[in-house]
Amino acid sequence: MMKNLLAILLTICTTVVLSAQVSVSPSPVIVEGITVQDSDVAAYSTMTNDASEERVYRWVRTELSISDGWESAVCDKNLCWFSNVDTKEVTMAAGEEGTMDVHVYPNGVEGSAVVQIVITDVADTTISVTNLYYFNATPSSTNEVQVEKITMFPNPTDDVFSISSSSGNVVKKVVVYNLIGRAVREFETAGNRTFNVADLPRGNYLVRMLDKDGNSIVTRLLQKL
């Protein structure tokens, strides 16, 4: 009897833990082709309370990379917030879906942005999901034409990736960052255009390409398989 009771209790606890989930899709969200004429650019996604009961979640926005002059803001199921709001709580019924969008405001400036949203269950902080929102503008200035011609492939990759630029050897250094902003790999190009990331864990990374003066040329999203 005692063994059966313990088995039942274990099953109930396991079910509760597994059902108290939150998800976001699509993941990641990628928006390309932004122009300086765009005043408000949205990356749309939906968060879902996969639990069998009402839950309260807190989202936290982090700008992992954003061009000077750009701003970002979040729209959740309740409201579209001002750009100075980094975190809010949302209450969701069992199985409810809600908005979890990120907007960027280029303010007439060419550039790019990578914004991270982490959603955590307030009652159980071990339950959390992270999503990445990637924005890249279409270059138009003389300097940015070089950026436009830089490509990174294959992407996704499980071992190596390469970069190519028809504008010459613009990229002098490649830095790979994880989603909390820590550099996990650095490569001096020195004629090399293929970079090995086979030993990195599976997930999303930011690849920042720098010129000879250490200035950031462009940041790309890399999916490691």
Higher pLDDT, 215 or 157: 157
Domains and CATH numbers, the chain: 21-137 (2.60.40.10), 142-224 (2.60.40)
Whether the per-residue pLDDT at 43 is higher than 90: the answer is yes
Mean pLDDT of 56-85: 94
- Per-residue pLDDT tens for 132-172? 998 877 654 434 434 446 889 999 999 999 998 766 678 88
Residue 189: the pLDDT is 85
Whether the per-residue pLDDT at 219 is higher than 90: the answer is no
Rounded Cα gap, residues 177 and 224, in angstroms:
12
Residue 141: the pLDDT is 42
Cis preceding-peptide flag for 106 (omega within 30 of 0): no
Residue 94's alpha-carbon distances to 19, 24, 108, in angstroms, are 10, 15, 42
Least confident of 17-21, 88-92, 181-185: 17-21
- Per-residue pLDDT tens for 83-92? 999 999 999 9
Nearest to 132 by CA among 224, 215, 5, 1: 224
Nearest to 43 by CA among 53, 52, 34, 54: 34
Mean pLDDT of 62-79: 92
Cite the beta strand spans of the chain per DSSP E: 22-25, 29-34, 41-43, 46-49, 55-66, 71-76, 87-92, 97-105, 112-121, 128-137, 150-153, 160-165, 173-177, 183-188, 194-196, 203-210, 216-224
Rounded Cα gap, residues 22 and 95, in angstroms:
9
Higher pLDDT, 5 or 103: 103
Torsional class of 44: left (φ above 0), alpha (ψ -120 to 50), beta (otherwise): beta
Higher pLDDT, 14 or 28: 28
Rounded Cα gap, residues 46 and 131, in angstroms:
11
